[in-house]
């Protein structure tokens, strides 16, 4: 049994996963800009319907060694910027909405930005303006 445990520990040390540097960020809502019906952006205010949804704080994590951000392989991962692009589809009864989400963390300023683009499949030929949500982030303190 001790030999098996020794082999597992040695394997983890050699593979680098035992010392993979994971960082967790606590992010506080800063501001948001949403696209209105006329395709213009407007700063989100507490009296708007989406405020409760967009103004929630967020927690994200990344792994320095594996270059993974929010559970996915990052497009850009360096000392200044971590950037991830994700695509998704929402199928409804009358239409399908294609979404492009770009998440960016500026490692110098601590600002985390979410940009959400959408288009209706069959109607829109290009991505419209983005809803933009910004957060101020700091490293989470570990508690034991």
Q: What is the pLDDT of residues 37-70, one digit of tens each?
A: 777 889 999 999 889 989 999 999 999 999 999 9
- With 50 as the cut, is the pLDDT of residue 74 above it? yes
Q: Closest by alpha carbon to 119, among 141, 97, 93?
A: 97
What's the pLDDT at 7?
A: 53
Q: Considering the entire predicted model, what is its pTM? A: 0.79
- Read off the pLDDT band of 1 (50, 70, 90): low
Phi and psi at 121, nearest 5°, equal: -70, 130
pLDDT score at 51: 92
The helix (H) or strand (E) run that includes residue 14 is helix 2-15
- Residue carrying structure tokens 């300023």: 109
Check residue 3 and give its pLDDT.
Answer: 54
Q: Please tell me what DSSP assigns to residue 142.
A: P
- Residue 5: its pLDDT value, please? 47
Which structure tokens are listed for 78? 């360096």
- Residue 93, pLDDT > 70, answer yes
Q: Is the pLDDT confidence value at 6 over 60?
A: no
Handedness of CA 120, 126, 129, 135 (dihedral sign): positive
Per cent of the chain over pLDDT 90 is 62
């Amino acid at each position: 049994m001790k030999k098996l445990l020794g082999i597992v520990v040695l394997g983890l040390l050699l593979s680098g996963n035992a010392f993979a540097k994971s960082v967790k960020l606590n992010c506080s809502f800063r501001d948001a800009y949403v696209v209105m019906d006329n395709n213009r952006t407007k700063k989100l205010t507490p009296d708007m319907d989406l405020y409760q949804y967009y103004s929630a704080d967020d927690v994200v994590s990344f792994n320095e060694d594996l270059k993974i951000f929010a559970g996915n392989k990052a497009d850009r991962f360096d000392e200044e910027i971590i950037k991830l692009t994700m695509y998704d589809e929402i199928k409804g009864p009358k239409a399908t909405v294609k979404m492009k989400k770009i998440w960016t963390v500026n490692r110098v300023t601590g600002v985390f930005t979410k940009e959400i683009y959408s288009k209706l499949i069959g109607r829109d030929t290009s991505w419209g303006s983005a809803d933009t949500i910004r957060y101020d982030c700091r490293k989470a303190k570990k508690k034991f």
